[in-house]
Amino acid sequence: MNPDPTPANPFALPFDELDGAAAFTSEPVLVAARDVEAFAALTGDHHPAHLDPIWAADGPFGRPIAHGLLVLSQAVGTLPLDPERVIALRRLRDVVFKRPVGVGDVITVACAIGARRALDERTGLVDCACRIHDADGRLSVRAVIEVLWRREPASVAATDGDDEIAPVTRDRAGELRVLL
């Protein structure tokens, strides 16, 4: 008997079926020099550790490194979030930049579903424990990302009109109900 070669995408599962969900592992992702330059332009973070090869060669890491927030953002971007399940990032509870990612390095992301808790009948919060490794398998970043998960599929939740997406997480001020 062959094991299932394609485990279910955990980020497309119903909230109530997340126990024992398979971990997700990304394809390798190149953190290219052009990505670092684009991120600097987008954010205004032009620290020479990222952009100046001469400064960086004499700096604490010996070479240009990617912005930590770029690496984290690229890692989150690899997660196949089903928009009918995962509504939004809610919290980054602990992100540790353990080892810098060099410009031109390749990363791989592993992400496991952790604790979850229902907020109401329609939404819940789910911890996603992510580990970003470099091409040699060393841990570069670890992060616990809490995401807001819709508990019902849109087609079931839409019981109050033509809305395909139930606006259950929005109050009159546009603020998430689950504010901490």
Sites for a second copy among residues 130-149 (CB under 8 A): 138, 143
Q: Does 78 bind a second copy (CB under 8 A)?
A: yes
- Of 81, 91, 113, 92, which is closest to residue 176 (Cα–Cα)? 91
Q: Does 28 bind a second copy (CB under 8 A)?
A: no
Give the strand pairing for 29-30 and 123-134. unpaired
Q: Does 24 bind a second copy (CB under 8 A)?
A: no
- Of 85, 77, 52, 75, which is closest to residue 153 (Cα–Cα)? 85
Judged by CB under 8 A, which of 93, 114, 120, 153 binds a second copy?
93
- Please answer whether residues 128 and 145 qualify as being in contact, where contact means their C-beta atoms are separated by less than 8 angstroms: yes
**Cβ nearer to a second copy, comparing 20 with 44:** 44
Judged by CB under 8 A, which of 7, 28, 77, 153 binds a second copy?
77
Judged by CB under 8 A, which of 61, 115, 153, 156 binds a second copy?
61
Q: Which residues contact 158 (CB under 8 A, 6 or more apart)?
A: 164, 165, 166
Q: Does 96 bind a second copy (CB under 8 A)?
A: yes
Q: Does 30 bind a second copy (CB under 8 A)?
A: no
- Of 92, 68, 71, which is closest to residue 29 (Cα–Cα)? 71
Sole window of 1-9, 13-21, 40-48, 112-120 interacting with a second copy (rule: CB under 8 A): 40-48
Question: E strand or H helix at 58, and its extent?
Answer: helix 53-58
Question: E strand or H helix at 50, and its extent?
Answer: helix 48-51
Sole window of 2-10, 14-22, 97-105, 111-119 interacting with a second copy (rule: CB under 8 A): 97-105
Sign of CA dihedral 12, 127, 148, 141: negative
Where on the chain is the footprint of a second copy (CB under 8 A)? Answer: 35, 38-39, 42-45, 47-49, 55, 58-62, 65, 67-70, 72-74, 76-78, 81, 83, 86-100, 138, 143, 163-170, 174-176, 179-180
